[in-house]
A and B are shown apart, each in its own frame.
Chain A
Amino acid sequence: MKMTGAEILIRCLQEEKVEYMFGYPGGAVLHIYDELFKQDQVKHILVRHEQAAVHAADGYARCSDKVGVALVTSGPGATNAVTGIATAYMDSIPIVVISGQVPTPAIGMDAFQEVDMVGITRPCVKHNFLVKDVRDLADTMKKAFHIAKTGRPGPVVVDVPKDVTAQVCDFEYPQTVQMRSYNPVVKGHLGQIKKAVQLLAEAKRPIIYVGGGAILSDASDKLRKLAHHLGYPVTNTLMGLGAFSGIDKQNLGMLGMHGTVEANMAMHFADVVLAVGARFDDRVIGNPANFAEEPRKIIHIDIDPSSISKRVKVDVPIVGNVPDVLDEMLKLVEGSKPDPAQTADWWARIDEWRGKNSLGYKQDSELIMPQYVVQKLYEVTKGDAIICSDVGQHQMWAAQYYPFDKPRRWLNSGGLGTMGVGLPYAMGAQFAHPDATVACVTGEGSIQMCIQELSTAKQFRLPIKIISLNNRYLGMVRQWQEMFYGSRYSGSYMDSLPDFVKLAEAYGHVGMRIERPEDVEPALKKAFIDHKDDLVFMDFQTNREANVFPMVAAGKGLTDMILAEDL
């Protein structure tokens, strides 16, 4: 059957079972929008800025096992999408972004709203395509979805010139993908797996270090089985929170720049590290030279060979899909439990570190401590909400004080650190899970980077709860300036803030301002229970000077932590 390119594009999305597409129309994608209008299988969610379209698609993918989809027009639509694409790239999130392009004869002519999208996005996509012939469109779409979700996932851009969406050809959606240049390894090398199991069995000071890869590959169940079987301590990275339960007694909490004392010390002094879908990045192990001071054996499971031995030398590399590799390990360890006596001393040391209570803080009677808000949020939502955060101090507090029991409940921009993701992530999460409680933990700085999406949330009646920890500073910047720049608060002061209550109301939502510690819990209850079906913007006026602790300063080793009591 003959179809136009626009029709084919929509049919491809239907074939891929795309339920929601986040987008913003414009000249180059009008044919596509016209076809969207004629069907109701793919629901279009109109955002208020293209950046949010990509973030929402990204958020949707993060908390489901589906590929997120965004549609933007050429030129500024495409460039606005770039931050979203780079954000997804850094965290390996499977999304497909369809961008309009000027008609093929106009490409290179500096046409109206023309930009070299394939060129601009090349360094921040897993792959991208420019479709120059309508006969390639269906095949390209199939490849785009395949590439986005297989191997180490990532964003794929499909740039479609306007004339291609008008051209006509036969449509047949390919059932399979054959690419000689792209065949990700799935199964781990059995010899290496055996070596790993041997090392783990002999370990006296083991640690299991879990990253976002364990969540992206849905390895949580197998990971828990293995960790419980071994009885070894576990630490999650910022991206790995929820892969191993945050409320399990084997959990040492998050590690890294703002990790707990027990997690960081255990990571540093372990004799065997089992890294699961994690990449030893600078925010996690600090200075690699310091990290290398202690002798240890590292086992690293990752689907991406280039993640292995990139920052630290690995002894047992295992390239493969994490759950498949863990499955093999489970088979091998079955029937032989390590003797708990072997790690008794290690656990005793860990308990000593735990005794430092490095996440302790004091909630006085006058000023709301931001950590307290997150703890109360945990209590009121019974730990069962999808928490989307922006970037900054509030992000770290949410990560530290809201233990995640399940995977895909914690959405944040870990790699790129993109302020403004919180609200669009919450939108994506609410579309993926309409009945779930979705909260956006943010600050007055971050929220204003995508605040226009309050309008989208109104249009689609998304009952998101915005928990804004408002300290009238760009808090993380201020914290660094206080600690490393002689308290010269250059550019970190937020003056002329809007009245967020009125702002929320102007968009048709519920706004609340909370100024006293004793009001925190009742306000949260009111928002989450009485206003269950409303978007509530909660403006918490918090202690302005609160800092995130522990802290490993940039360039320092993991053991070099600044604790709250040090200041």
Chain B
Amino acid sequence: MRHIISILIENEAGALSRVSGLFSARGYNIETLTVAPTEDPSLSRMTIVTTGSDDVLEQITKQLNKLVDVVKVVDLSEAAHIERELMLIKVRATGKDREEMKRMADIFRGRIIDVTDSTYVVELTGSSSKLDSFISAIDAGLILETVRTGVSGIGRGDRILKV
């Protein structure tokens, strides 16, 4: 099962390595990991997408909570939530592909943010599966480069992760 774990952690040197080290040491998966300071600069918010059985997830949550720097841990995917990922994708845009690429970007509500006579950079935001769909919707031979941020997530409505 895929899970999205949100962590509030003290914004200190080495905090990221404590979390990533825990995952590698105990053999847990990390599919994506994003981290940045929150509005309170003393705290960082981390979002980790991982997969595992319920037992594994229980251990991941407990082990994360055990880290002295970790303030709070929530499994976002346990209840209503929103997830977004940003992708920048550089594609070849020449000849008939140029128009087609523009059309595809529009369909996926992407924005073309860099243009040369032979390339576009498309900015696309959405769930990870939407980004995956875009990649599979265009001709693989036209993809020059992709970069994805990994998932950021937030609970819906009253679900708030804060100190």
Question: Residue on B with the closest CB to A151?
Answer: B66
Are B68 and A181 closer than 8 Å at their CB atoms? yes
Are B68 and A306 closer than 8 Å at their CB atoms? no
For the complex, give the distance between the alpha carbons of A180 and B62 in Å.
17
Which residues of the partner chain A approach B70 to less than 8 Å between Cβ atoms?
Answer: 181
Which residues of the partner chain B approach A309 to less than 8 Å between Cβ atoms?
Answer: 55, 58
B69: Cβ under 8 A from any A Cβ: yes
A123: Cβ under 8 A from any B Cβ: yes
For the complex, give the distance between the alpha carbons of A306 and B70 in Å.
14
Are B21 and A123 closer than 8 Å at their CB atoms? yes
Tell me the chain B residues, 1-51 only, with Cβ under 8 Å from chain A.
Answer: 9-10, 13-14, 17-18, 21, 25
Q: A127-B68, A181-B68, A182-B68 are in contact. Are A122 and B14 (CB under 8 A)?
A: yes
Are A306 and B71 closer than 8 Å at their CB atoms? no
Are A147 and B21 closer than 8 Å at their CB atoms? no
Question: Residue on B with the closest CB to A309?
Answer: B58
CB distance from A71 to the nearest CB of B (A): 22
Are A181 and B10 closer than 8 Å at their CB atoms? yes
B133: Cβ under 8 A from any A Cβ: no
B65: Cβ under 8 A from any A Cβ: yes
For the complex, give the distance between the alpha carbons of A304 and B67 in Å.
12
Are B13 and A130 closer than 8 Å at their CB atoms? yes
Choose among A119, A147, A182 the residue that contacts B17 (Cβ–Cβ < 8 A).
Answer: A119
Are B65 and A305 closer than 8 Å at their CB atoms? yes
Tell me the chain A residues, 295-311 only, with Cβ under 8 Å from chain B.
Answer: 304-306, 309-310
CB distance from B60 to the nearest CB of A (A): 10
Are B59 and A310 closer than 8 Å at their CB atoms? yes
Are A147 and B14 closer than 8 Å at their CB atoms? no
Are B163 and A122 closer than 8 Å at their CB atoms? no
Which residues of the partner chain B approach A305 to less than 8 Å between Cβ atoms?
Answer: 62, 65-66
Which residues of the partner chain B approach A126 to less than 8 Å between Cβ atoms?
Answer: 68
For the complex, give the distance between the alpha carbons of A130 and B13 in Å.
9
B63: Cβ under 8 A from any A Cβ: yes
Main secondary structure of the interface of B (DSSP, over half): helix
Which residues of the partner chain A approach B18 to less than 8 Å between Cβ atoms?
Answer: 122
A118: Cβ under 8 A from any B Cβ: yes
Are A306 and B59 closer than 8 Å at their CB atoms? yes
Are B21 and A304 closer than 8 Å at their CB atoms? no
Which residues of the partner chain B approach A182 to less than 8 Å between Cβ atoms?
Answer: 68
For the complex, give the distance between the alpha carbons of A119 and B21 in Å.
10
Listed residue (B9, B63, B68, B163) with the most chain A CB atoms within 10 angstroms of its CB: B68
Are B69 and A181 closer than 8 Å at their CB atoms? yes
Which residues of the partner chain A approach B59 to less than 8 Å between Cβ atoms?
Answer: 306, 310
Question: Residue on A with the closest CB to B64?
Answer: A306
Choose among B55, B62, B163 the residue that contacts A306 (Cβ–Cβ < 8 A).
Answer: B62
Which residues of the partner chain A approach B69 to less than 8 Å between Cβ atoms?
Answer: 127, 181
For the complex, give the distance between the alpha carbons of A179 and B25 in Å.
26
Which residues of the partner chain A approach B71 to less than 8 Å between Cβ atoms?
Answer: 180-181
CB distance from A510 to the nearest CB of B (A): 45
Question: Residue on B with the closest CB to A124?
Answer: B25
Question: Residue on A with the closest CB to B69?
Answer: A181
Are A180 and B163 closer than 8 Å at their CB atoms? yes
Which residues of the partner chain B approach A306 to less than 8 Å between Cβ atoms?
Answer: 59, 62-63, 65-66
Question: Residue on B with the closest CB to A310?
Answer: B59
Are B68 and A123 closer than 8 Å at their CB atoms? no
Which residues of the partner chain B approach A118 to less than 8 Å between Cβ atoms?
Answer: 14
For the complex, give the distance between the alpha carbons of A122 and B21 in Å.
8
Question: Residue on A with the closest CB to B55?
Answer: A309
CB distance from B35 to the nearest CB of A (A): 16
Which residues of the partner chain B approach A310 to less than 8 Å between Cβ atoms?
Answer: 59
Are A123 and B55 closer than 8 Å at their CB atoms? no
Which residues of the partner chain A approach B21 to less than 8 Å between Cβ atoms?
Answer: 122-123
Which residues of the partner chain A approach B55 to less than 8 Å between Cβ atoms?
Answer: 309
CB distance from B73 to the nearest CB of A (A): 11
Tell me the chain A residues, 133-189 only, with Cβ under 8 Å from chain B.
Answer: 147, 179-182
For the complex, give the distance between the alpha carbons of A448 and B55 in Å.
43
Listed residue (B18, B25, B66, B71) with the most chain A CB atoms within 10 angstroms of its CB: B66
Are A147 and B68 closer than 8 Å at their CB atoms? yes
CB distance from B27 to the nearest CB of A (A): 13
Which residues of the partner chain B approach A122 to less than 8 Å between Cβ atoms?
Answer: 14, 17-18, 21
Which residues of the partner chain A approach B68 to less than 8 Å between Cβ atoms?
Answer: 126-127, 147, 179, 181-182
Question: Residue on B with the closest CB to A132?
Answer: B13
Question: Can you list 7 A-B contacts with CB-CB less than 8 angstroms, sorted by A residue number?
Answer: A122-B21, A179-B68, A305-B66, A306-B59, A306-B62, A306-B63, A306-B66
**A residues in contact (CB < 8 Å) with B:** 118-119, 122-123, 126-127, 130, 147, 179-182, 304-306, 309-310
**B residues in contact (CB < 8 Å) with A:** 9-10, 13-14, 17-18, 21, 25, 55, 58-59, 62-63, 65-66, 68-71, 163
Q: Which 7 A-B pairs have CB atoms at the shortest separation, nearest pair first?
A: A306-B62, A127-B68, A181-B71, A305-B62, A123-B25, A182-B68, A306-B63
Known contacts A181-B68, A306-B62, A310-B59; 12 further A-B pairs (Cβ under 8 A): A119-B14, A119-B17, A122-B14, A122-B18, A122-B21, A130-B13, A180-B71, A180-B163, A181-B70, A181-B71, A305-B62, A306-B59
